[in-house]
Structure 1
Amino acid sequence: MSTTTSTTSTTDTSPDLPLAGQRAVVMGGSSGIGEATAALFAADGAEVVVTGRDREKLEAAARRIGGRTTAYRLDGTDPAGIDAFFARSGPVDHLVLALSGAAGAGPFAELDLAELETGFAAKFWPYVRILQAALPRLRADGSVTLVTAASARAAFPGTAGLAAINGALEAMVPPLAVELAPLRINAVSPGVVETPWWDAVPAEQREALFEGFAKSSPVGRIGRPGDIARALHLLATNGFVTGVVLDCTGGANLPTGR
């Protein structure tokens, strides 16, 4: 079941801060992109709730983020936990879904369909369930911003499964933006970003991969969590943007590179 873990100390809540008086929930906020996004919201004066499965990581992230940040232990694959969270959450102005999942990758001819099913269960279905559960709590003209992945529209061998998962989420963005209006629905589609998502790859292999991606990118480097966080913050706070999937790839998805 979901349990509240910790709350940091209160800092400046001056009305001069652009998000003062607003509340943001960042699902998957204990590290990487989610944590960086929560930090931007908190710096702008928002009350922030970060969720994740690991209590210690959440508490540490909340301390790093500062401001009015609450850590709430929640498994995004637990429907009952999701329902319980939103039943007690209070109003939400901005919802960011930054849950990650790696299952479903590999050459298609050898792709384990059970692994692909696990991939959908870890990301696609949680996003859908969370959004449905959150709707009664979301401000009518608030925002929902999804973190997908550039694999959705790339053509890299071995990523067909990941493309299916993230592509399914991205395909939902425009119709949801119309159906749920004036609630704004957007997504950020990151390229290769240095986050704990890559920790399972041995260090030397990971460094070689990052170097190769950096050389092929027009900007000459891979992404950082803050790069994606700023894109998420933009879409969440710009009231004139909805139905958009924003690529944040350093140009790696462009037809030509270096």
Structure 2
Amino acid sequence: MAKKTLIIGGASGIGFAVARALAEQGESLILAGRDSEKLARARQFLSQKSASVDTVVLDISKEEEVIQLSQTLGEVDNIIVTAGSHAPGGALASLNLNEARLAFDTKFWGSIHVARHLSKNIHARGTLTLTSGFVSRRTVAGAIVKTTMNAALESAVKVLAKELSPLRVNAVSPGLTDTEAYAGMDPAAREKMLTSAAENLPAKAFGRAEDIAKGYLFVMDNPFVTGTLLDIEGGALIN
């Protein structure tokens, strides 16, 4: 019987790469996200590869929507959260705190909403995998929102792995990854950014969504991994 995985943020970027990898294994998928059009396109593509692909429009920053989903979802084997937020950058003195709160509402509190309510829908030996980011442990001026948001999420994973046991709870922490998140950049600037990253990282490469996706599959498949933060960042943290 095919396993069933809910991917929140699965219509694009890293989440879609995870969905593609699982579809190729014949798993049943549920993709959730805010954009119904993106979800429809992702479903159409993945339906050619997977036995079953469903979609649900969901904003995890709204706890009531997560509660409603928990009442209709049924049992799944795994839940993955890759839904991110556009965290504002800049020095604290000039930071837009309302935008900062909105970023926390989605990535941090949204993940907490999922853990609180949807963990009940996960099979007892299943997994919940969240998404952090390498800047949580890399001191970068002007990145206080991303740094503190991801650091809080990483600390929460350790506690949740104990509280929700035997459910396994982990987080994947990507480095700079070429995804749709940079689609709004000038193409030449985007290429320069990625090339510069590849030149400066010990791995001599920038991240691709399919590279990061392998990390999610690892923590899902290995029954001896929980409370773990998996760094996939090309060596950025040792630079």
Q: Which TM-score tier does this pair reach, normalised by the shorter chain?
A: over 0.9
Aligned equivalent of 1:57: 38
- Kept in 2: contact 1:24–1:47 (CA 8 A): yes
- SS at 1:247 equivalent: strand
Cα distance in 1, alignment partners of residues 156 and 191 from structure 2:
34
Aligned equivalent of 1:189: 173
Aligned equivalent of 1:7: none
Compute the displacement of 1:83 (Å): 1.5
* Large movers: runs of 4+ above 4 Å: none
Extract unaligned runs of 5+ from structure 1. Answer: 1-19
- SS at 1:253 equivalent: helix
Q: What's the Cα RMSD here?
A: 1.4
Cα distance in 1, alignment partners of residues 114 and 159 from structure 2:
17
Cα distance in 2, alignment partners of residues 105 and 87 from structure 1:
37
- SS at 1:246 equivalent: strand
Aligned equivalent of 1:46: 27
Extract unaligned runs of 5+ from structure 2. Answer: none
| Higher deviation after alignment, 71-80 or 42-51 | 71-80
Aligned equivalent of 1:122: 106
Question: What pairs with 1:123-138 in structure 2 (closer than 5 Å)?
Answer: 123-138=107-122
Cα distance in 1, alignment partners of residues 69 and 14 from structure 2:
22
- Kept in 1: contact 2:85–2:107 (CA 8 A): yes
Deviation by residue 1:199-232 (Cα, 9 ceiling, x = unmatched): 2333332222212211111121210111111101
| Residue type at the aligned position of 1:98 | T
Question: What pairs with 1:152-191 in structure 2 (closer than 5 Å)?
Answer: 152-191=136-175
- SS at 1:103 equivalent: coil
- SS at 1:50 equivalent: strand
Normalized against structure 2, the TM-score is what? 0.94
Normalized against structure 1, the TM-score is what? 0.87
Aligned equivalent of 2:2: 21
| Residue type at the aligned position of 2:231 | D
| 1:86 equivalent among 70, 75, 85 | 70
- SS at 2:178 equivalent: coil
- Kept in 2: contact 1:35–1:65 (CA 8 A): no
| 1:97 equivalent among 81, 84, 104 | 81
Aligned equivalent of 1:10: none
How many residues get paired? 236
Compute the displacement of 1:88 (Å): 0.7
Compute the displacement of 1:79 (Å): 2.1
- SS at 1:104 equivalent: coil
Compute the displacement of 1:104 (Å): 3.0
